Structure 1
Amino acid sequence: MKIRILAASCALIMGSITTGTAMANCDDGEIVIKFSHVTNTDKHPKGIAASLLEKRVNEEMNGKACMQVFPNSTLYDDNKVLEAMLNGDVHLAAPSLSKFEKFTKKFRIFDLPFVFQDVAAVDRFQNSEDGEKLKNAMKRRGLVGLAFWHNGMKQMSASRPLIKPSDAAGLKFRVQASDVLVAQFEQLGASPQKMSFKEVYGGLQTKVIDGQENTWSNIYGKKFFEVQDGNSQTNHGVIDYLVVTSVDWLDDLDADVRDQFLTILD
């Protein structure tokens, strides 16, 4: 069973698993696997996928391994989690692909506008030989990708209607920490503002930013519609995730534990 979740399938997944914020109690002798992510557990594809992975690991690897999921940036946000992973303080994360820019430039392909027509096109690329190579692109920096997880295509919201590109001129847009994304909004005449995901709601509410780009699941899951009701369906880019771990942690696992864990994740 592949833990690959599209935003459109959230309702089906939600009906098949029980989600929540209760942390698993690990027994003595079990390998503790800490998974940190930034979304909620019941309304967002990443949170739902993490909960499903936790459920399967704790059922199928009982006595050998125990997974604990930390949602909503309660342990680390995506800007800090990779350094924490390299320090051995957390074992799994699923940051958006833009977050890997400081480790390799190869993931910039996902930040380029209008490269992928839809999620199906993204999926074909990620499952291609080139997509598989990307999982190993950060090994020399101590990180290895385990699986791509889908979120969806990006939409734009703003404090005024966005009908044509020039409508974005002069507006402050939140972007992820990606030079490619910064360049995109500068080309529109907008002012890109690098900001963490957890700060976007407050930024929109207090008018620190005038707009943002995100998937429908992110907009719904974080309730951005409460503080900004103008959305434009642009499908101009993609936000996906890479489940990632440290090379050292993965290599240190006993072979049988590692193989079973990777089989569940796949």
Structure 2
Amino acid sequence: MNYFKIIFTTIFIFALFFVAAACGTAPAEPDAGEGTAGEAAPGVQRTIRAGIGLNDQHPQYLGLLKFKELVEERTDGSIVVETYHSGQLGDDRSMMEALQLGTQEVTVPSTAPIAGFVQEFTVFDFPFLFPSNEVADEVLDGEVGQMMLDKLDDQNLVGLAYWENGFRDLTNARRAVASMEDMKGLSIRTMENELHLEAFRALGANPTPMAFTELFTALQQGAVDGQENPVATVYLQGFHEVQDHISNTHHIYSPFVFLMSKTFFDSLTEEEQEIVRDAAREAGQHQRQLNREANAQYLDDLQEEGMTYTEIDEEARQEMIDTVQPVLDKYAERIGQDIVDQVYEAIREAQED
């Protein structure tokens, strides 16, 4: 009798065990702290890592600090912005790729490297495209500028606003440049952009593509004679220490584009999306103003530091414009003539306003 009691008790215990195990595999209710895509997770603080290539004195970085201030204030600190300068998170291309992968949230590159992802952006790097800052503002902040930003979605990137790098000028360590003749044979570092390379070849220089983080050392060691960047960048990166001449070629107006990872942007609520978009635009207006003030001041500072400043007269500039036109015609066909025509039409309308 005891034998049967033992068997019955054992079977009963095993039955209870399996019932408990089965109950334990039932689907759990969502944790109260979790959130779905596009829905804020209560009590969860998120971080935006924003990286750029320029240093912490440049107006671009000061613009990032303004963005940080606006976002953290308007989200009551539920979104925190960490800012990184001087290529701490990589060069422009690697940071854009990190945005695509969702391992970084924000970067603000020039349009030249963006053209490697969306070729239509090449149009903004056409030499002598924009005649002034004011015309550039109106075109970039208008319908044409938004049309171009919308093309970034397919690359898992969100374009929130245009900031300003500015008009690019030529520096070198060999001689004053007042014309195309003076430019012949100079080895010039350019961004890794085919249009820039072909344009400088047409102008008689020997362009060398190179990552920005490698540039100072290359100038210092004489690996290249010169480079081309806006005045603020020339001064703040200390290029005057290794360059003797600067010319106001103003050969390209270079916008910055405020980019956010689409993966991260889509995870935000509609209210948060509006906050970061507005903050990017407001910080961009602030950054443009700082940039223009800095370029004016730093041109004087560069001359005080010993650089020789050379003016490009209208005749010399027109010769440059005419010389690069075949290059522009080639790229217009590659990009799409309709896109190029829309940009030029927007520029004409802005000039008439």
Cα pair 1:146 1:245 within 8 Å, conserved: yes
Find the partner of 2:148 among 134, 156, 177. 134
Cα pair 1:41 1:51 within 8 Å, conserved: no
Find the partner of 1:231 among 209, 232, 246. 246
User: Alpha-carbon deviations, 1:118-152, whole Å to 9, x = none?
Assistant: 21121111022111111111211211210000121
User: Which residue of the partner structure matches residue 14 of structure 1?
Assistant: none
User: Which residue of the partner structure matches residue 195 of structure 1?
Assistant: 210
User: Which residue of the partner structure matches residue 146 of structure 1?
Assistant: 160
For 1:254 and 1:47, locate their aligned partners in 2 and report how far apart those are by CA, in whole Å: 27
What is the SS of the residue equivalent to 1:243?
strand
For 1:241 and 1:55, locate their aligned partners in 2 and report how far apart those are by CA, in whole Å: 20
For 1:79 and 1:248, locate their aligned partners in 2 and report how far apart those are by CA, in whole Å: 18
Runs of 4+ aligned residues of structure 1 deviating over 6 Å after TM superposition are none
Q: CA deviation at 1:50?
A: 0.6
For the pair shown, the structure with the greater C-alpha radius of gyration is 2
Length-normalised TM-score, structure 1: 0.86
What is the SS of the residue equivalent to 2:93?
coil
Gaps of 5+ in 2: 1-42, 282-353
**Range with bigger deviation, 67-76 or 250-259:** 250-259
For 2:104 and 2:98, locate their aligned partners in 1 and report how far apart those are by CA, in whole Å: 6
For 1:71 and 1:244, locate their aligned partners in 2 and report how far apart those are by CA, in whole Å: 15
Equivalent residue letter for 1:210? D
User: Which residue of the partner structure matches residue 321 of structure 2?
Assistant: none
Length-normalised TM-score, structure 2: 0.65
Matched residues, number:
238
User: Which residue of the partner structure matches residue 180 of structure 2?
Assistant: 165
User: Which residue of the partner structure matches residue 196 of structure 2?
Assistant: 181
Equivalent residue letter for 1:202? T
User: Which residue of the partner structure matches residue 50 of structure 2?
Assistant: 35
Instruction: Output the aligned Cα RMSD.
Output: 1.4
Find the partner of 1:56 among 65, 70, 78. 70
User: Which residue of the partner structure matches residue 122 of structure 2?
Assistant: 108
Distance 1:253 1:36, change over 3 A: same
Q: CA deviation at 1:262?
A: 1.9
Between the aligned residues of both structures, percent identity stands at: 27
Cα pair 1:79 1:196 within 8 Å, conserved: no
Gaps of 5+ in 1: 1-27
User: Alpha-carbon deviations, 1:177-204, whole Å to 9, x = none?
Assistant: 1111000111022211111112211111
User: Alpha-carbon deviations, 1:185-242, whole Å to 9, x = none?
Assistant: 1102221111111221111111011111110111111011111020001111112200
User: Which residue of the partner structure matches residue 69 of structure 1?
Assistant: 83
Cα pair 1:92 1:245 within 8 Å, conserved: yes
Q: Does 1:84 align with 2:98?
A: yes
Q: CA deviation at 1:258?
A: 1.7
Structure with greater helix share of residues: 2
Equivalent residue letter for 1:69? T
Cα pair 2:71 2:275 within 8 Å, conserved: no
Q: Does 1:254 align with 2:269?
A: yes
User: Which residue of the partner structure matches residue 24 of structure 1?
Assistant: none
